Amino acid sequence: MPLLPRVDEMYVDENQVSHLLPGQDFGSRVELALAATNHLFNTRNSARYVAQVLQGVNAVATKLDRTTRPFTGVGPAEMKARIGAVDLDRPLPDTAAALEELESVYLRDAIYFHDAKYAAHLNCPVVIPALVGEAILSAVNSSMDTWDQSAGATTIERRLIDWAAERLRLGDAADGVFTSGGSQSNLQALLIARNHAVAGLRQDPDNTGLRLPALLEQLRIFTSADSHFTIQKSASMLGLGFDAVISIPCAADHRMDPAALAEAMAETHDAGLVPMAVVATAGTTDFGAVDPLADLAALARAYGAWFHIDAAYGGGLMVSGRYRHLLDGTRLADSVTVDFHKTFFQPVSSSALLVRDRSMLQHVTYYADYLNPESAALAEIPNQVDKSIQTTRRFDALKLWLTLRIMGADAIGALFDEAIDLAARVGSVLAADDDFDLAAEPQLSTLVFRYRPGRPSASTGHVAGERLSEDAADTLNPAIRAAVFASGQAVVAGTRVAGRHYLKFTLLNAEATLGDINEIVELLRSTGAQLLANARTTGASA
């Protein structure tokens, strides 16, 4: 069969295409179409592809070399005006010009997670092998929904799922799928749990003829007060409502209290409701707490509830050399969320949902004749859309694959271990500092604390034993965070504990030192002291 002719070799009938691009004469339309083909990624343009991508890579590398702080401090109004001034209907003459413009509308004011003074959220510096994978997967552009769009990519993703399931000790029947992130992984886990529970309810003759909404009224989800907000959000999206999630108190170490869970599940059961799922957390966002997984799993089993572990943060412990034991209870889970773009140092996005029993993935399966017909499943053609709530999906697994093949799992674990160890050292520093209150001992790589110095006195400078009031500290600490962010010198996070405002470090940079973080601490202290001094000058309450 002869190859199709190239666009510039094709005969074009003006009468057939004149309606496609009104407002232009026929010659200019053809010329524009021919010029546009120079931007398509194909064999003819491979040299142009290499040259232009290298320009982009060099722009980023140059910016990295010249960047000395994690942020510039630019405000939303300035960025809106600058980007709003760009005329998107007037393209620039070449890639160099576009990259020069990009410097002013993005690169200059981006938040740079590789900087040691970035200590805010669960954003990790990324490893170079993963960036190589990102470049490859974007260019080839495999779509992970069906085998005839992905082939080898499908096999690589499935091999990585098996590898992760083995690390989590989920058993030989385990399976899973890559997702866009922890939110989607948790949503899919609870969708499976919901459908699994509904299938059980339909076995009861009293429920014959009831539609899904009526059955959902009975279902309840149990999770800790410190769990991720996506549990409530998922419950709402799944038709259960926010109030279907029962919040279980935590102990002093911010781990879910098994006794409180047992009491809540018993009350729910006695009220004629159905415990649908217990969601444990392996690495809470604020405190890095790992719930008592084995105890919670036993309670879930006792009530026939699905046991899901949200290890979006703590999943990196599966490759840890020193802290792997914290994930021992994952072997008891029905499903597990892991975010590789957090503690595996992968670019966003790269996450996975794993299930103990691969047959449970049928709860999200739907066959479409035009894409993944049931006949393909019967012929054992591996269409990943059969077990995903996404259809079109990037080959994000390639980034982790190349990271493992170039660095190895132990090296990834060593990076996370360094971050955990650094958090412990910083925690000791803050605990010994009279100007700061440490909310809890660090468990992974996060620290929650607040600036609360002694009250100044006109005669002595400080009143012995008297600290800044709790209410004043609630006003001061968000102001410290905002001022430091606006300065661009550091980026820290904020949260609330028992209704009080706190600051938070999230440490994921293995190259950050105790000295780097101490500089942030001193910046927070000096900023807080200056804000207090300003308040005294203006007569504001402290």
CATH number at residue 43: 1.20.1650.10
Between 27 and 52, the higher pLDDT residue: 52
| pLDDT of 493 higher than 50 | yes
Q: Per the domain annotation, does 265 fall within a domain?
A: yes
Q: Per the domain annotation, does 118 fall within a domain?
A: no
Q: What is the pLDDT at residue 538?
A: 80
Asked if 360 and 464 sit in the same domain, the reply is no
Provide mean pLDDT across the span 73-94. Answer: 96
Provide mean pLDDT across the span 323-337. Answer: 97
Helix (H) or strand (E) holding 165: helix 152-167
| pLDDT of 419 higher than 80 | yes
Asked if 462 and 532 sit in the same domain, the reply is yes
Chain Cα centroid distance, residue 156 = 22
Domain span at residue 96 reads 26-112
Q: Residue 422 sits in a domain of what CATH number?
A: 3.90.1150.170
Q: What is the pLDDT at residue 30?
A: 84
Domain count of the fold of the chain: 3
Give tens-digit pLDDT for 146-197.
Answer: 999 999 999 999 999 999 999 999 999 999 999 999 999 999 999 999 999 9
| pLDDT of 5 higher than 60 | no
Residue ending a domain, among 358, 389, 420, is 389
In this structure, what token pair is assigned to residue 78? 């300035």
Percent of the chain residues past pLDDT 90, beyond the cut? 88
Residue 490 identity: A
Residue ending a domain, among 338, 354, 389, is 389
Asked if 345 and 491 sit in the same domain, the reply is no
Helix (H) or strand (E) holding 122: none
Asked if 425 and 290 sit in the same domain, the reply is no
Q: Which of 195-209, 263-277, 298-312, 324-338 has the lowest mean pLDDT?
A: 195-209
In this structure, what token pair is assigned to residue 243? 């109030």
Asked if 183 and 290 sit in the same domain, the reply is yes
Asked if 162 and 93 sit in the same domain, the reply is no
Asked if 174 and 291 sit in the same domain, the reply is yes
| pLDDT of 459 higher than 50 | no
Q: Residue 370 sits in a domain of what CATH number?
A: 3.40.640.10
Asked if 159 and 102 sit in the same domain, the reply is no
| pLDDT of 25 higher than 90 | no
Asked if 262 and 364 sit in the same domain, the reply is yes
Q: Per the domain annotation, does 15 fall within a domain?
A: no
Asked if 330 and 272 sit in the same domain, the reply is yes
Q: Per the domain annotation, does 433 fall within a domain?
A: yes
* DSSP assigned state of 181: S
Helix (H) or strand (E) holding 65: helix 46-66
Asked if 380 and 485 sit in the same domain, the reply is no
Q: Per the domain annotation, does 6 fall within a domain?
A: no
Asked if 237 and 376 sit in the same domain, the reply is yes
Sort residue 338 into left (φ over 0), alpha (ψ -120 to 50) or beta. Answer: beta
Q: Per the domain annotation, does 17 fall within a domain?
A: no
* pTM score, whole prediction: 0.92
Q: What is the pLDDT at residue 465?
A: 59
